[in-house]
Amino acid sequence: MNINEKEQQFKTYLAEIDYYREALMLIHWDMRTKIPNKGVEQRSEVAGFLGEKIHQLQTSNQMEEFIGELKHRSEDPILVKTLEVCEEELERNKQIPHPLYKEFMITQTKAEAIWQQAREDADFNLFQPYLKKLVDYNRDFASYWGYEDNIYDALLHKFEPGVTVETLDHVFPDLRKSLLSLLEKVQASAVKPDPSLVQFHFPKQDQASFTEQLLKQMGYDFQSGRLDETVHPFAITLSLSDVRLTTRYDEKDFRMAVFGTIHEGGHGLYEQNIDPRLVRTPLATGASMGIHESQSLLWENFIARSYPFWQKNYDLFLRYAPHTFQNVELEAFYQAINEVKPSFIRIEADELTYPLHIMIRYELEKALINKEITVEDLPHLWNEKMKDYLGIVPSTDREGVLQDIHWAGGDFGYFPSYALGYMYAAQIHHTLSQTLDVENLVQTGDLTPIKDWLGKSIHQYGKMKKPLEILTDVTKESLNPDYLIQYLQKKYGAIYQF
């Protein structure tokens, strides 16, 4: 068989994996938005079956053969990169003995159900034995995968290839210091935004209509996506031509849905604008969790929480929410949606305190994986760090160590991506602002040039580039937390007058 025929065979093989993936993603979307209660049990079996099929195809002898035969012969850059990604995936999976992986999967499924109960009851003891096992599995996996300096690097690599403990320990302390100093200034300020100004009743349907207008302004394509309601908001890619968003509504506080949807819209815009030549390859997705988060945060914080954005959209907002907000001046509104106030729940945190929530998690999971602390220590260490970083202590573990699903999902090494994404966003936003008159574009509602610049600089590549490669290609600089600090300093200095 000549190389062209082999390449063709490989593409067909990849397409098959992607057919399973697309079907599975539809099941995931449906299970979180539409499925009737009693349908869940049988649908879970179907999801398990399709997931297993994908895993089999990714780790088969056939896959190994394709890689062996094409690796140094293919010249098509998309295929070259695809082979690289497939090989990495294969290697990672091959190194874990199958029985161990299966045990992990069973434990993980149980752990997630137990965690939900534990969170509801604010009972860490219930969750503790499962968490312990999940930490052990992750340590085992990390050992199988291997690492140079720190065992935690092997886990980080899964979510943010190229980023290590060294990177994080280099940037986080300075960032922390700067954030705490800003927080002190905020707390000492005489300016006190009044969030009650924006906590009026705003019917769900009107929030949805308003948010759809904002998504359209961003350039999110409703011909290639849709917006539904869910309990835990997410964006999901069925195909590059069907990238769906979900949100949840609080009729007493529109901020949840509006900023949440724009956040997911940032993820959606990324995937909708990946080069269609990558379709049916594993490259047709974002470069990493961190780069993905940079896109959602860039739209949510740097654009949608900015003053020019509301200069443009406040009238529209008032049209969708008549009678209730009419007496609120734009200035007071802007302050209210940007109130800085230490709080317990990560996903409800303001722009300034958010990274501190991430650092707490990073420090704890790094120490756990390195056996410097034990699972039993977690609740009190969590509370100590909350006191230390944010000056507040949760009254129950429900508002503390039990709040996030990640650990119950068996994911360690994931949290740093959130903070990395935020720093990437600031750095990318800085470059963007030097290229385009962002303030003016946002103020006039002309967001197309921004969308196009992000598409050209980042989105189109999908997984063709590594995350740090994208960052340096776009910003001509390696990771630099100063941009985030400068952004926060400038924005909150103006709001809180320091």
Chain residues binding its own copies by CB under 8 A are 15-16, 19, 22-23, 26-27, 30, 34-39, 41-43, 45-46, 49-50, 221-226, 238-242, 279
Identity of the residue, 50 or 118, whose beta carbon is nearer to its own copies in the bound complex: 50
Indicate the residue type of 220: Y
Taking the CA of residue 337 as centre, how many other CA atoms within 13 Å lie in the half-sphere pointing to its CB?
A: 26
Work out how close the CB of 443 gets to its own copies at its nearest, in angstroms, rounded to a whole number.
30
Identity of the residue, 47 or 126, whose beta carbon is nearer to its own copies in the bound complex: 47
Work out how close the CB of 284 gets to its own copies at its nearest, in angstroms, rounded to a whole number.
10
Residue at token pair 């300016």:
191
Work out how close the CB of 237 gets to its own copies at its nearest, in angstroms, rounded to a whole number.
11
CA distance 403 to 59: 35
Identity of the residue, 37 or 434, whose beta carbon is nearer to its own copies in the bound complex: 37
CA distance 120 to 108: 18
Give me 292's structure tokens. 């993905």
Residue at token pair 């120490």:
367
Distances in Å between the Cα of 469 and the Cα atoms of 138, 154, 225, 419 are: 27, 19, 29, 18
CB of 311 within 8 A of CB of 275? no
Please, which residues have CB within 8 angstroms of residue 410's CB and are 6 or more apart in sequence? 104, 107, 108, 111, 134, 137, 138
Work out how close the CB of 188 gets to its own copies at its nearest, in angstroms, rounded to a whole number.
50
CB of 27 within 8 A of CB of 244? no
CA distance 425 to 417: 12
Identity of the residue, 260 or 268, whose beta carbon is nearer to its own copies in the bound complex: 268
Provide the angle, in degrees to the nearest 10, between the axes of the packed helices 467-475 and 448-457. Answer: 120
The strands making up 242-247's β-sheet, listed across from edge to edge, are 227-229, 242-247, 235-239
CB of 198 within 8 A of CB of 333? yes
Q: Which residues pair with 244 in a beta bridge?
A: 236
Please, which residues have CB within 8 angstroms of residue 174's CB and are 6 or more apart in sequence? 481
Distances in Å between the Cα of 133 and the Cα atoms of 122, 129, 366, 368 are: 20, 6, 16, 12
Catalytic position from the list 264, 271, 351, 363: 264
Identity of the residue, 135 or 238, whose beta carbon is nearer to its own copies in the bound complex: 238
Work out how close the CB of 306 gets to its own copies at its nearest, in angstroms, rounded to a whole number.
29
Identity of the residue, 36 or 190, whose beta carbon is nearer to its own copies in the bound complex: 36
Is 264 annotated as catalytic? yes
Work out how close the CB of 48 gets to its own copies at its nearest, in angstroms, rounded to a whole number.
9
Work out how close the CB of 279 gets to its own copies at its nearest, in angstroms, rounded to a whole number.
7
CA distance 417 to 395: 28
Q: Residue 267, annotated ligand binder?
A: yes
Identity of the residue, 221 or 439, whose beta carbon is nearer to its own copies in the bound complex: 221
Q: Residue 263, annotated ligand binder?
A: yes
Give me 5's structure tokens. 């025929």
Q: What are the binding residues?
A: 263, 267, 293
Q: So which residues are the catalytic ones?
A: 264
Q: Mark the binding-site residues for Zn(2+), compressed into ranges.
A: 263, 267, 293
